[in-house]
Amino acid sequence: MIILKSPREVGLIQEAGRVVALAFEKVEPLIQPGVSTQTLNDFIDQLFRDNGAISAELNYCGYPASICASVNEVILHGIPSPKKILRDGDIVTIDIVAKKNGYCADAARTFPVGICSQRALKMIEIAKESFDNAVSLVKPGIHLGDISAAIEATAKSHGCSVAREYTGHGIGRTMHEDPMIPCYGVPGTGPILRKGMTICIEPMILEHNAAVRVLKDGWTVVSKDGGLTSHYENTIVVTDDGYEILTKL
Ligand code: MF3
Ligand code: CO
């Protein structure tokens, strides 16, 4: 069941979204060779609290940290650790969900660490381009499959794959609501978008093959072939004639 949000509820999600955007702005300068992903976790956890929010990821289904910090071949749910030190040339995805006044906002960005290879930087761009192409279609009356297909087509145009086992999603009082929004699909299929839907569009891109596996910790998802991965996500609301991004300042 897709829950449509009132303007008041959209405003509350937007307030949480501002905290998410602030976290990205403030953490970016810390993302340097030598810093641990635990340091990034603790910084964002504190920033959330200082801004009246908490991490909706902490303890979610037993998830043991406040952010996901996923390096290189880790596509999702990298668990921060003081032992995981960022190195020059890595790319790291920070995926965060702030909950404030009962409402959640969710976004992800992949950042370069120090000096990166051209192909690593290209991976970061492809995730953003996939998001931009998908979100540009959003307005009442389109199908969810239109969004999914745009993500898949963009990734494929660069010779990349999309994650198949993980999807975007609706969002509101909880971080995952209906509908699921796969990164692949067929235009003209799936639920129709309506004004007041709040959704997370999140291209998850693999450099080569789409196959992934989960490590023994039960969380960390990696590309099976060891190829690089990237991710770009925002929470948006469907408006009268288009959309508004809610995870921005
Ligand atoms: N933020 C992720 C998403 O985009 C969900 C992370 S779940 C967690 O849907 F438990 F790992 F935090
Ligand atoms: Co999400």
For atom 12 of ligand 1, the residue with the nearest CA is 57
Confidence of residue 199 (pLDDT cuts 50, 70, 90): very high
User: What pLDDT is recorded for position 28?
Assistant: 98
User: What pLDDT is recorded for position 48?
Assistant: 99
User: What pLDDT is recorded for position 20?
Assistant: 99
**Ligand 1 proximity of 233 Cβ (cutoff 6 Å):** yes
Q: Stretch 201-207: mean pLDDT, rounded?
A: 99
Q: What is the pLDDT of residues 111-152, one digit of tens each?
A: 999 999 999 999 999 999 999 999 999 999 999 999 999 999
User: What pLDDT is recorded for position 206?
Assistant: 99
User: What pLDDT is recorded for position 126?
Assistant: 99
CA of 5 from ligand 1 middle (Å) equals 21
Q: Stretch 42-62: mean pLDDT, rounded?
A: 99
User: What pLDDT is recorded for position 222?
Assistant: 99
User: What pLDDT is recorded for position 4?
Assistant: 98
Q: What is the pLDDT of residues 158-174, one digit of tens each?
A: 999 999 999 999 999 99
For atom 11 of ligand 1, the residue with the nearest CA is 77
* pTM exceeds 0.85: yes
Q: What is the 3-state secondary structure (H, E, C) of the chain?
A: CCCCCCHHHHHHHHHHHHHHHHHHHHHHHHCCCCCEHHHHHHHHHHHHHHCCCEECCCCHHHCCCCCEEEECCEEECCCCCCCCECCCCCEEEEEEEEEECCEEEEEEEEEECCCCCHHHHHHHHHHHHHHHHHHCCCCCCCEHHHHHHHHHHHHHHCCCEECCCCCEEECCCCCCEEEEECCCCCCCCCCECCCCCEEEECCEEECCCCCEEECCCCCCEEECCCCCEEECEEEEEECCCCEEECCCC
Q: Stretch 19-30: mean pLDDT, rounded?
A: 99
User: What pLDDT is recorded for position 154?
Assistant: 99
